[in-house]
A and B are shown apart, each in its own frame.
Chain A
Amino acid sequence: MAYAIRSTAIEANGLRKAYGDLSVLDGIDLEVPRGSVFALLGPNGAGKTTTVRILATLIRPDGGEARVGGHDVVAERHAVRRTISLTGQYAAVDELQTGEENLRMMGRLAGLSGSRARVRARELLARFDLIDAGRRRVATYSGGMRRRLDLAVGLVGELSVIFLDEPTTGLDPRSRQAMWDVVGDLVGAGVTVFLTTQYLEEADRLADRIAVIDQGRVVAEGTAAELKRRVAEQRLELVLTDARAFEDAARALGDRALTADRGERAIGVATDGSAADVRALLDEIDPGRRSVERFSVHSATLDDVFMALTEKETAHA
């Protein structure tokens, strides 16, 4: 088993970063085993990109330390750079070069020979469904094609730790699926992938472990299953007939109510989504079968995860 050799690809302890008075990272701790996929999940402004930029040696932390591939990201940044690849949020390709020229250039910069860079460029164009577009200038590409090329460029060098900052933001469903397949292949090849995302589904699909960050702090960390146990995967939304029915239901559910909106007379409660569970909940809240006006079942959204996790944080504080 690979687990016989315990090794850590990325570790961070107490990372801090502030811009002026604005604290962006407020003590981030992370540990990513080699050959795994790690997702940093969080809303805009949570500190995801700043974390990636520190780990990829582009900016220095104000406090704390981090090692990638066993090398310190500040003191040994050149060694770190020889093991990582970074694909940022904004397409880092030349508009006035063709897709193939971009790939070959990056291959050469990554140290491949001219002929090796050409072969590698063809491979990646094929893998990202860009063969036909490869000879056109990037300026003519659609947003999705540009993003795919950008991701392809990030894989040119065959490195051991790959950072993907929101790799599927702005991609259509098919391109997103293709990206997910690529991440799967990478892991099969022993690469460590560190990605950020705003999408719970994406973290769920790809990541072995997920850290949820909010306002510069890790508010939860674990496997997708572990996190889901902490928040409801499915939510039963009820609209009660009147204010009194609402009060009764709220009292009956107590702190099992995930959301409660008095004005709309709406209450959300966790369910596993099965008919039996929904029926049991309805019977419990509304034994007389008169006080529930409507109900609907929703899959947990990232919002729910955050609400749940950040509320817990405040409750503990």
Chain B
Amino acid sequence: MPSAAVTMAGRCTRVSLRQIDALLTSLMLPVLLMLMFVYLFGGAIETGTKYVTYVVPGVILLCAGFGSATTAVNVSQDMSRGIVDRFRSMDIGGPALLAGHVAASVVRNAASTVLVFAVALAIGFRPSAGLLDWLAVAGVLLAFMLAISWLAAAIGLVARSPEAANGFTFFVMFLPYASSAFVPVDTMPSWIQGFAQHQPVTPVTEAVRGLLLGTGADVWPALAWCGGILVLSIAASSVLFRRRTV
């Protein structure tokens, strides 16, 4: 029922824009991390370019990933209160409810990503991307937000409490560190390299970085990862919703 999903998306967007503390965290955290990496650690990290140029795609992903992961908390909150019973008694099922949360998550994260980009430009980030590259960046980032948000929605259904669901946000926040987001993977110990090369954040970071810096980008691995996560998460969440509510 698409109109129910649209109403639900409006509800979730409105509510999440009013969660001021969560909103500020998901904005301040990436910005502070960016400043920290650029001004404190950046001088010591050798990436072949200015460090701010290297690190911005990673920070953007951290921002999008962390913000999307908060969907787990929001879904879990709905599941643990009476409101899900009311929705179900109105024949508003899991798909509409979860799609509403995911849509709100994408709207929220698109906005915070734009803000992080603005800060990055202010501290000296100079991308060389053309219009098409920017569109491609937007596409890859949207795919990433969509994938992480649906995954988070599925996690929110598994978690027994919003506090437990919150654990997922930390997991997602950690992923960029073990990827090419902040430091080149070939500087890591070899046993971590295997993981770092084969987790979704690395191909997505590489795609975004390549597009922004005009160094040539292979977007397909990134899109394949996002598509795979998306399909699995949607399937899992529909099963989980039914199991959780019977």
Contact = CB atoms under 8 A, between A and B. Distances in A.
Interface of A: 53, 56-60, 78, 81-82, 84-94, 96-97, 101, 105-106, 108-110, 137, 153-154, 157, 163
B8 to A, nearest CB: 8
Contacts of B14: 96-97, 101
A109 B89 contact: no
Interface residues of B, number: 23
A154 B15 CA distance: 20
B243 interface: no
Given A59-B246, A108-B7, A88 B85 contact: yes
A86 B86 contact: yes
Contact of B91 (A60, A82, A87, A88): A82
A58 B85 contact: yes
A109 B7 contact: yes
B87 interface: yes
B4 A94 contact: no
B90 A96 contact: no
Contacts of A91: 82
A78 B18 contact: no
B190 interface: no
A93 B88 contact: no
A85 B83 contact: no
B112 to A, nearest CB: 18
A101 B14 CA distance: 10
8 contacts: A56-B89, A58-B245, A59-B246, A85-B89, A90-B82, A108-B7, A109-B90, A110-B90
B10 to A, nearest CB: 7
Given A96-B19, A97-B11, A105-B10, A86 B89 contact: yes
B89 A60 contact: no
Given A89-B82, A105-B7, 20 more contacts: A57-B88, A57-B89, A58-B85, A59-B246, A78-B91, A81-B91, A85-B89, A86-B85, A86-B89, A88-B86, A90-B82, A92-B81, A94-B83, A97-B14, A97-B15, A105-B10, A109-B7, A110-B90, A153-B86, A154-B86
B92 interface: yes
A229 B22 CA distance: 59
Nearest to B14: A97
B90 A157 contact: yes
Given A56-B89, A57-B88, A81-B90, A92 B82 contact: yes
